[in-house]
Amino acid sequence: MRGAHLQAPGERRAHLRSRSLPSKADGRHFVDSARIVVRGGHGGKGSASFRHEPFVPRGGPDGGDGGRGGSVVVEATNDVSDLSLFKRRAQWHGEAGADGAGGRKTGRGGADVIVKVPVGTIALDADGSLIADLDRPGATSVLARGGSGGRGNVHFKSSTRRTPDYAEPGLAGEEREITLDLKLIADVGLVGPPNAGKSSLLRSLTAARPKVAAYPFTTLDPELGVAETDTGRIVLADIPGLIEGAAQGAGLGQRFLRHVERTKALVYVLDGSSAHPWEDLETVRKEVSQFSAELTRRPHLVVLNKVDLEPARRLRGRTRRAGVHFASALTGEGLPELLHAIAKLVASAPQPPVPAPVKVTRLPVRRSDELVVERKPSGFVVRGERVERLVTRTNLDSEGGLARFQSELDRMGVNAALEAAGVKPGDNVSIAGVEFEFHLGHLAAARAAIDCAGLDRVLLIPTGQPPHRSAAVADARQRLEMCRLAIDGDSTFEVSDLEVRRGGISYTADTLTELRRIYPTAELFLILGWDAARLFATWRVPDEISRLATVVVVSRPGSGTPDAAALKAAGLDPARVILCPRATPDISGSALRRAIAQGEPVGDRLPAAVEGYIAKNRLYVDNR
């Protein structure tokens, strides 16, 4: 290529402008493709606070909601010329939302992150489907939405739950891998083989200043220039030289060819001094056709450059081809006529068709209320939009939050679906990547005690005759059978008929004395829920019970976890008590009996075998 300065004889120089792109002179290369990871900001946590004011003894919950996380938004602008920024920074994260506060104060929303890209950029997701085509200045699209904030405890107050001590955590923002591709927006694309003088033509027709020299080399980066004509401005794009095999990627051909997809017309630039210029033309047109058949149907013209050289002048004298222009970027010969022809070509050219987005076959979206339970070697996996959202919306470290979580699982029918799939107590259940252990009622407290106290075996001993009431609704033999059905062969548990066989009123101290005789070398533990343990001082000979066994106190929903003072007030020695603060399901015997008497379904709170036994024997139907 050779330097050129257009000054047609007898004419004034046209007013020309350029939009130059980064080149080696800027210390970096033009970048037209980049891959980034975007993530919306995390939503703020809801607040679990209570109103505290003088003369307001029961102010109630007043926790505010967390703020929404900021989104990642892409915006097209003419102030950016390529995608080189994204080679240096590949991670873009929205700001997290602020946490809620007392007084029903909502947390501040996180600020959006605006990612500026050149006009003509398209955004594709990981599957290659189109997210956004930013074809004009100011065009925007949300790439990753911020997560919503968690609700404060004021939302969970009800007639039966006056002081909810839990709130929701915020949701995580969307995270996506995005491919940004830049397709230059120009009216005319200058295409041709290497060293045909395309950059020199652009330099002469516009005020763009691509690199040119008096020795052979090829441009490595596309370049834009703007020319003023009688009919208006025309944007020309210099596309680096195409060689044979460019459509298959040879010589970075695919990267360059895509920049002409948005042009209205093509100008094939040939070296007039070449030995076989028409063969060069066929090679270039073949590569364009293989890249996109639609491109070959675009309006076009052919220009043979370097007419100032003798071989090109001889070619002009003998050619009879129509629509071929001869010009010299060095001397300016033929350039006014060429620019006029280009303007006329652009004026009559239709708008280029918008490329159809890549078709991606997606699986049908599962309905939001659909619940799927899958059995795997490691346990059970529960899927469903509602239940997965429940997990992400629950603070599992909060006792109150976990109790609400258990209640919601029952209401959604998750436990019933698990039992229908064959779940057994102790099986692992995974929901939204969080693992739980399946358990029901009193077995849940027993399993919690096994982990907290390191127990080897648990004896379930149905009471023969409870000391606090004259007779149980179900007789001793029936309760013994229900315990056996509940453990269903689980070797961790064993059902003992010790109190049933002994007869009379069943006292814990008597039972422990007999167990000490049966197991003289074993260390005995007595498992109690805190709702029962808080009445320990009223039991018969509590000191003897404490001497015979170590008491394991398991937290129960609604009763909290006791401290040392509470244990002493209940008649327990804190030094001989093992506390197990693990939350267990909010299932009580009295509530179950009441539900059965009222004809309510209890399959989500009882093993199926026990539920069937109760129904078969019509137990608790007249419970008061």
Percent of the chain scored above 90 by pLDDT?
A: 18
How far, in Å, CA of 184 to CA of 121, rounded?
8
Question: Looking at residues 146-155, what average pLDDT do you find?
Answer: 92
Residue 263's pLDDT is 79
Residue 455's pLDDT is 87
> For residue range 370-382, what is the model confidence (pLDDT) as tens digits?
788 888 888 889 9
> For residue range 67-84, what is the model confidence (pLDDT) as tens digits?
999 999 999 988 887 788
Least confident of 36-40, 326-330, 369-373, 605-609: 605-609
CATH classification of the domain holding 174 = 2.70.210.12
How far, in Å, CA of 125 to CA of 238, rounded?
29
> For residue range 173-189, what is the model confidence (pLDDT) as tens digits?
999 999 998 876 678 88
Compute the mean pLDDT over every residue in the chain, rounded to the nearest whole number. Answer: 79
| Residues 166 and 193 placed together within one structural domain of the fold | no
Range of the domain at 431: 372-437
Q: What's the whole-model pTM score?
A: 0.56
Contact 227, 267 (CB under 8 A): no
Beta bridge partners of 118: 77
> For residue range 212-228, what is the model confidence (pLDDT) as tens digits?
444 343 445 667 777 77
Helices 198-205 & 335-348 angle (0-180, nearest 10): 90
- Which of 63, 69, 157 lies closest to 101 in space, CA to CA? 63
- Give domain status of residue 20, yes or no: no
| Residues 468 and 609 placed together within one structural domain of the fold | yes
CATH classification of the domain holding 507 = 3.40.50.620
| Pair of tokens at residue 460 | 């379930």
Q: Residue 405: which residues within 8 A CB-CB, separation 6 or more?
A: 390, 391, 394, 396
| Residues 460 and 407 placed together within one structural domain of the fold | no
How far, in Å, CA of 31 to CA of 24, rounded?
12
Question: Looking at residues 195-200, what average pLDDT do you find?
Answer: 80
Question: Looking at residues 130-147, what average pLDDT do you find?
Answer: 89
The more confidently predicted of residues 347 and 110 is: 110
Percent of the chain scored above 70 by pLDDT?
A: 80
Residue 523's pLDDT is 92
Q: Is the pLDDT of residue 259 over 80?
A: no
How far, in Å, CA of 317 to CA of 325, rounded?
12
Residue 4's pLDDT is 37
* Cβ atoms within 10 Å, residue 264: 20
How far, in Å, CA of 548 to CA of 569, rounded?
20
| Pair of tokens at residue 597 | 């008497």
Contact 374, 427 (CB under 8 A): no
| Residues 60 and 159 placed together within one structural domain of the fold | yes
Residue 488's pLDDT is 74
- Give domain status of residue 357, yes or no: no
Q: Is the pLDDT of residue 423 over 50?
A: yes
SS (H, E, C) 401-444: HHHHHHHHHHHHCHHHHHHHCCCCCCCEEEECCEEEECCCHHHH
Question: Looking at residues 323-348, what average pLDDT do you find?
Answer: 87
Q: What are phi and psi of 154, to 5 degrees?
A: -65, -25
| Residues 399 and 547 placed together within one structural domain of the fold | no
CATH classification of the domain holding 401 = 3.30.300.350
| Pair of tokens at residue 247 | 């459509």
Residue 484's pLDDT is 85
Residue 543's pLDDT is 92
* Structure letter (DSSP) for residue 15: -
Least confident of 484-488, 518-522, 577-581, 594-598: 594-598
Q: Residue 266: which residues within 8 A CB-CB, separation 6 or more?
A: 188, 189, 191, 260, 288, 295, 298, 299, 300
Residue 418's pLDDT is 82
Element (H, E) at 481: helix 476-487
| Residues 432 and 508 placed together within one structural domain of the fold | no
How far, in Å, CA of 250 to CA of 247, rounded?
7
131, amino acid identity:
I
CA 329 to chain centre: 54
Question: Looking at residues 431-446, what average pLDDT do you find?
Answer: 74
Final residue in a domain of this structure, among 387, 422, 437: 437
Q: Is the pLDDT of residue 364 over 60?
A: no
- Give domain status of residue 366, yes or no: no
Question: Looking at residues 584-612, what average pLDDT do you find?
Answer: 72
How far, in Å, CA of 256 to CA of 6, rounded?
27
| Residues 292 and 333 placed together within one structural domain of the fold | yes
Contact 140, 75 (CB under 8 A): yes
| Pair of tokens at residue 565 | 């003072």
Least confident of 255-264, 287-296, 298-307, 334-343: 255-264
How far, in Å, CA of 237 to CA of 253, rounded?
15
Question: Looking at residues 515-532, what average pLDDT do you find?
Answer: 89
The more confidently predicted of residues 436 and 312 is: 312
| Residues 247 and 331 placed together within one structural domain of the fold | yes
CATH classification of the domain holding 337 = 3.40.50.300
| Pair of tokens at residue 347 | 């004026």
The more confidently predicted of residues 29 and 109 is: 109
DSSP string, 125-164: -TTS-EEEEE-STT-EEEEEPPPPPPPPGGGG--SS-SS-
The more confidently predicted of residues 307 and 359 is: 307
Residue 284's pLDDT is 82
* Structure letter (DSSP) for residue 571: T
Least confident of 365-369, 464-468, 519-523: 365-369
How far, in Å, CA of 603 to CA of 596, rounded?
10
How far, in Å, CA of 129 to CA of 496, rounded?
64
Question: Looking at residues 582-600, what average pLDDT do you find?
Answer: 71
| Residues 461 and 609 placed together within one structural domain of the fold | yes
Q: Is the pLDDT of residue 245 over 50?
A: no
Final residue in a domain of this structure, among 182, 210, 229: 182
Compute the C-alpha angle 240/242/245, nearest 5°: 140
Q: Is the pLDDT of residue 506 over 90?
A: no
| Residues 319 and 455 placed together within one structural domain of the fold | no
At 209, the pLDDT band (50, 70, 90 cuts) reads low
Strand order in the sheet with 130-134: 91-93, 33-39, 175-182, 121-124, 130-134
Indicate the SS3 state at residue 174.
Answer: coil
Residue 66's pLDDT is 95
At 23, the pLDDT band (50, 70, 90 cuts) reads very low
Contact 431, 389 (CB under 8 A): no
List the alpha helices (DSSP H) in 132-212. Answer: 198-205
| Pair of tokens at residue 236 | 């020309």
Instruction: Work out how many domains the chain is built from and give that number.
Output: 4
At 330, the pLDDT band (50, 70, 90 cuts) reads confident
Final residue in a domain of this structure, among 437, 466, 491: 437
Residue 369's pLDDT is 62
Contact 487, 460 (CB under 8 A): yes
| Residues 428 and 379 placed together within one structural domain of the fold | yes
Q: Residue 619: which residues within 8 A CB-CB, separation 6 or more?
A: 473, 474, 478, 596, 613
Contact 222, 238 (CB under 8 A): yes
* Of 40-44, 129-133, 594-598, highest mean pLDDT: 40-44
Beta bridge partners of 155: none
> For residue range 483-497, what is the model confidence (pLDDT) as tens digits?
888 877 677 888 888
Strands 130-134 and 121-124, bridge-based pairing = antiparallel
At 275, the pLDDT band (50, 70, 90 cuts) reads confident
| Residues 177 and 41 placed together within one structural domain of the fold | yes
